[in-house]
Amino acid sequence: MNPLPLAVAAMMTTLTATAADTTVTIYRADADALFSPGTQPLDQGHALVHEQRELTLAKGRHELAIGGLPSLLDSEAVGIDLGDGVRVLGQRVIAPGDAGVLGAHRGERVHVRGAGGELLAEGTLVAVDGEGLGVRDAQGRVSYLRNYLRVEFPDSSSLAGSTLQLALDASRAGPHRAALDYPTSGLGWRAAYAATLSDGGKSCRLRLEALASIANRSGRDWSAVSLKLVAGAPNFASGGYAPPPRMMAMKAAAAPAPEALPEQSALGDYRSYRIDGALDLPDASVTQVPLYTSREIDCTRRWLASYGNAWSPATPNWHDGGGSGTAVLPVRSQLGFQAPENLPAGRVRVLTRDRDGHGELLGEARTGDTAKGREVMLDLGIAFGLRAERERTAFSVDRAARTISEGFRITPENASESARSITVREHPERWRVWQVVESSQPPARKTPDLLEFVVSVPAHGSATLDYLLRYSWSAADERG
């Protein structure tokens, strides 16, 4: 194959994308920068684009430029189908890089004009350097220009973003429809949930709203596209808690809002959400659409005082360690509920109504992909007026019997106006084999590395939990 020439000599006609022309499949992304204000394209997120362009070709070999592609598309994965009678002899993606809009049009024919409209140079754009241009004329001479007013592209669209340059061999002249497929970064989506606790009553109820936040930092606008959102975390070979994303100004007339909720279906090991109708995604914007209708569901509140973590030593730890002091444990406020639908990963804002009727924030948390019917547990923050004191009350080692006895007293305190049931979570950490031999109340939950009690604490009061553990091991365990 002959080298792909840089000169571009064929006329290109670009259709404005419509719902029938462009389909974009956007994968879930959780990079905060993608959803934060900014105008520069970002190499984060992942999307697959299927779009069509109308091209006019003459018979024979041609060099063609297709502009207006995303700034950060994957140049090794661009596919193009021009139908029968057209062969692609070679292709090249020119990205704008640091040179901005003009950088993606290197190799195209340009007219460079001065302040008075006079023609300063005509030829092929070969370099973009800061505020200067390099233009090669028909005789092969290169001129460098800095003081110019306007650059015209007589043979192409000069759209912002990347440019696909093609060498073609067409068996017939006339219009051709080009089908383009390519992956790009700069597009991503994630779920945004609002859980508003219901007023009054002793039971926990909340209203759950689910939106899809769709970020576009790809370096181009997407107008009236058909949209699919994919939930899950597939691997990508390439690369690719902040304040809530700020909705940015729309740059063009918006496409009609979706009339129906997304159609959900399986996509291999993932979930797909097809957005109804067509949607505009202006560059440097975050667009939101509903995922589900809002609904009221049951929930549970939990206040958690936790000590230690899930860890076990290689051999039994019978050393005292001087653990006779008192530790003060914060109590974390948590909210749980059963997923009413398949919930894609995202951020949940939990609100409650204040006495003035306004919704106020109780906390924010991230949640992973959660199948319908599974539990969602959100950590909202440290509760005011709740704490627990922890002190060791007993410790002894019997090396002959290969046992350790260790006791603790947990004193939850509640300075709030309502009674609380505080979950005390402990992690027995001296050895993996243990049992509760004494306790002031039965455990609510036990696993090999976790012990939980639920302690009722009155308003403006405290309660006491005492328990004693016994660890045991064999002679072989001592050798590790």
Phi and psi torsions of 37, nearest 5°: -60, 145
Pairing state between β 263-267 and 109-113: unpaired
| Cα–Cα distance, 337 to 197 (Å, whole number) | 12
| Cα–Cα distance, 393 to 50 (Å, whole number) | 68
Q: Which residues pair with 184 in a beta bridge?
A: 47, 73
pLDDT at 372: 95
CB 248 within 8 A of CB 221: no
Pairing state between β 79-81 and 174-184: antiparallel
Checking 401-405 for CB contacts under 8 A at 24+ apart, the result is: 402/316, 402/472, 402/473, 402/474, 402/475, 402/477, 402/478, 403/470, 403/471, 403/472, 404/316, 404/318, 404/430, 404/431, 404/469, 404/470, 404/471, 405/437, 405/468, 405/469, 405/470, 405/471
CB 55 within 8 A of CB 8: no
pLDDT at 242: 33
pLDDT at 13: 34
CB 415 within 8 A of CB 422: no
Phi and psi torsions of 435, nearest 5°: -150, 155
Give how far Cα 389 sits from Cα of 244, 327, 328, Å.
36, 6, 5
pLDDT at 34: 94
- Listed as ranges, residues in the chain with pLDDT below 70 are 1-20, 97-101, 103-105, 156-160, 200-201, 238-259, 322-324, 480
- Which structural domains are found in the chain, ordered by start? 50-184 (2.30.30.100), 301-332+376-479 (2.60.40)
Q: Supply the DSSP string of 33-72, one letter for each residue.
A: HHHSS--S--S---EEEEEEEEEEE-SEEEEEEEEEE-TT
pLDDT at 341: 94
pLDDT at 240: 40
pLDDT at 124: 86
pLDDT at 47: 95
pLDDT at 69: 87
- 410-422 burial, b at 16+ Cβ within 10 Å, e below that, comes to bbbbbeeeeebeb
Pairing state between β 142-145 and 22-27: unpaired
pLDDT at 452: 97
This prediction's pTM: 0.77
| Cα–Cα distance, 157 to 174 (Å, whole number) | 18
pLDDT at 238: 59
| Cα–Cα distance, 50 to 22 (Å, whole number) | 6
pLDDT at 107: 74
